[in-house]
C-alpha cells in the first residue's frame, strides 16, 4: 500500500501542487476581489487539471522514459499505463465539473486550459510550440481564478462577474454598452491579463530549459531563462497604474467611497502594495530561480539542468505572491508565500521533475 501511494505521488509529482493555488489567488487579486467560493472552486479545478497533465505526461512519455528515466512509475512497472491514462481522464472531468460550478465563463476558460494541457502532452511538447503551449496553460490558470472569482457573484442585473457598471439615465454603461438584466457587459477579467502574461512568460522560460533536462548540454536555454526572469522581476516591480484596474462599482469604491467591499484590493493613489514588501517578494522570486539557472549556464549537465527546472517551478510561488501584492492584495501575497516551506519540504521527498 505504501509503495503504491509513493508511486502515484511520483507520477503526479505532488510536490509541485503547491505551485498551483497561487494562480487562482493572483487572478482574484488582479480583479480586486477577495478570494471566495469561486476562487476555491478555481483552485480545485486547477489542481485537478494540473494533476491530469502530470498523469497524461508520463503516459505519453512512457517509451522515452523507459530509456532516459527507467525509474519513473510507468516504465518501472509500478503503475500500469492504462491506469495513468484513466486517472488523467477522471481528473480532467472533475476539474471541468468544479469549474462549471463557478459559472459559464470559468468553464469556458477551464475547457481551454484542459484542451491546452492535453494538446501539450500528446503532441505540442515535442514541437517548437511546446513552451508557448505550457505558458498559455499557466496564463489560463490565472485567468480561471479571475473568472471563477468574478462569476461566483453574478446575479440578475449584474454585469460581468456580478459587477454593475456605472450607467447613465438611459441604462447605457459608461463603456458604451447597454446594461440589462443578466447581460454580461464590460469584462473586468481583462484586468488580469497583464498578470497572466507575466506568469506565462516565466513558464515559457522554465519550459524551454526543461526540454534539455534529460541530457543537459544547453547553455543558451538557462542563460535565456535567467535574463527573462530578471526582466520579469523588473516588470513586476513597476507600480500598476490605477487606471488599469477594473471599473469601479457604483457606491463601492467609486468616487467619494473608498471603503466598499468591491474595492478592498484597489490601491488608492500613493498607496499601492508597500514597496518594501514588494521588493522583498521580488527578491525571493529571483533568489529561488536565478542561482540554479546560473549554475546550469556555467555547467549544463543534466543534474544541474534538472535542478534549475525544479527551482524555476518553485519560483512560481513567490512570483504569484508578487503579482498579488502588486495588485494591492498584500494579505493574499503573504498567504501564498506561506506555501513555500511546504513545497520545499515535499520536494525533498518527491522530485519536481
Instruction: Give the domain extent around 319.
Output: 2-157+188-247+265-347
Q: Is 253 helix (H, G, I), strand (E, B) or coil?
A: strand
Whether 6 is in a domain gets the answer yes
Does residue 21 belong to any structural domain of this protein? yes
Structural domain contains residue 175: no
Exposure on the CB side of residue 317, measured as CA atoms within 13 A: 24
pTM reported for the whole predicted model: 0.82
pLDDT tens profile 155-171: 433 333 334 333 333 33
pLDDT at 298 over 80: yes
Note whether residue 101 is domain-resident.
yes
Report residue 154 as a C-alpha cell: 453574478
Q: What are 223-272's pLDDT values in tens digits?
A: 999 999 999 999 988 755 443 444 443 333 433 344 444 444 454 444 44
Backbone angles phi, psi at 262, to 5 degrees: -80, -5
Assigned domain for 297 exists: yes
Supply the CATH number for residue 81's domain.
Answer: 1.10.357.140
The three cell numbers of residue 181 are 438584466
Percent of the chain with pLDDT over 70: 79
**Alpha carbons 310 and 289: distance in angstroms, whole number:** 9
How many structural domains compose the chain?
1
Q: What is the pLDDT of residue 188?
A: 67
Q: Which residues pair with 173 in a beta bridge?
A: 167
Is the pLDDT score of 73 beyond 50? yes
Asked if pLDDT for residue 130 goes beyond 60, the answer is yes
| List of residues 6+ apart from 184 with CB closer than 8 A | 105, 159, 160
Q: What is the pLDDT of residues 30-70, one digit of tens each?
A: 999 999 999 999 999 999 999 999 999 999 999 999 998 89
Q: What is the pLDDT, as a whole number, of residue 196?
A: 96
pLDDT of residue 153: 57
- How far is Cα 145 from Cα 29, in angstroms, rounded to an integer? 9
Contact 160, 103 (CB under 8 A): no
In a domain, residue 164? The reply is: no
Q: Is residue 256 part of a domain?
A: no
Residue 166 lies in a domain: no
Amino acid at each position: 500500500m505504501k509503495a503504491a501511494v509513493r508511486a502515484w505521488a511520483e507520477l503526479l509529482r505532488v510536490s509541485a501542487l503547491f505551485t498551483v493555488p497561487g494562480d487562482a489567488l493572483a487572478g482574484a487579486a488582479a480583479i480586486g476581489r477577495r478570494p471566495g467560493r469561486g476562487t476555491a472552486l478555481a483552485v480545485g479545478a486547477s489542481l485537478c487539471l494540473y494533476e491530469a497533465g502530470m498523469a497524461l505526461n508520463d503516459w505519453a512519455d512512457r517509451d522515452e522514459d523507459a530509456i532516459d528515466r527507467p525509474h519513473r512509475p510507468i516504465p518501472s512497472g509500478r503503475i500500469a499505463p492504462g491506469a495513468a491514462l484513466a486517472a488523467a481522464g477522471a481528473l480532467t472531468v472533475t476539474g471541468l465539473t468544479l469549474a462549471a460550478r463557478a459559472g459559464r465563463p470559468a468553464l469556458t476558460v477551464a475547457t481551454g486550459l484542459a484542451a491546452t494541457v492535453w494538446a501539450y502532452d500528446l503532441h505540442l511538447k515535442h514541437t517548437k510550440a511546446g513552451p508557448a503551449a505550457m505558458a498559455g496553460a499557466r496564463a489560463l490558470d490565472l485567468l480561471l481564478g479571475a473568472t471563477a472569482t468574478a462569476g461566483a457573484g453574478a446575479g440578475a442585473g449584474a454585469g460581468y462577474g456580478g459587477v454593475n457598471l456605472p450607467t447613465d439615465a438611459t441604462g447605457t454603461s459608461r463603456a458604451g454598452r447597454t446594461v440589462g438584466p443578466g447581460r454580461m457587459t464590460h469584462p473586468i477579467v481583462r484586468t488580469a491579463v497583464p498578470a497572466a502574461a507575466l506568469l506565462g512568460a516565466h513558464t515559457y522560460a522554465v519550459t524551454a530549459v526543461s526540454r534539455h533536462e534529460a541530457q543537459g548540454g544547453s547553455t543558451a536555454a538557462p542563460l535565456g531563462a535567467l535574463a527573462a526572469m530578471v526582466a520579469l522581476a523588473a516588470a513586476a516591480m513597476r507600480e500598476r497604474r490605477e487606471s488599469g484596474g477594473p471599473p469601479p462599482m457604483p457606491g463601492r469604491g467609486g468616487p467619494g467611497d473608498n471603503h466598499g467591499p468591491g474595492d478592498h484590493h484597489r490601491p488608492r493613489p500613493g498607496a499601492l502594495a508597500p514597496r518594501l514588501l514588494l521588493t522583498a517578494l521580488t527578491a525571493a522570486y529571483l533568489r529561488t530561480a536565478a542561482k540554479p539557472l546560473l549554475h546550469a549556464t556555467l555547467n549544463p549537465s543534466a543534474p544541474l539542468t534538472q535542478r534549475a527546472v525544479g527551482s524555476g517551478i518553485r519560483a512560481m510561488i513567490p512570483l504569484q505572491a508578487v503579482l498579488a501584492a502588486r495588485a494591492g492584495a498584500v494579505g493574499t501575497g503573504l498567504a501564498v508565500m506561506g506555501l513555500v516551506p511546504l513545497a520545499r519540504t515535499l520536494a525533498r521527498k518527491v522530485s519536481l521533475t
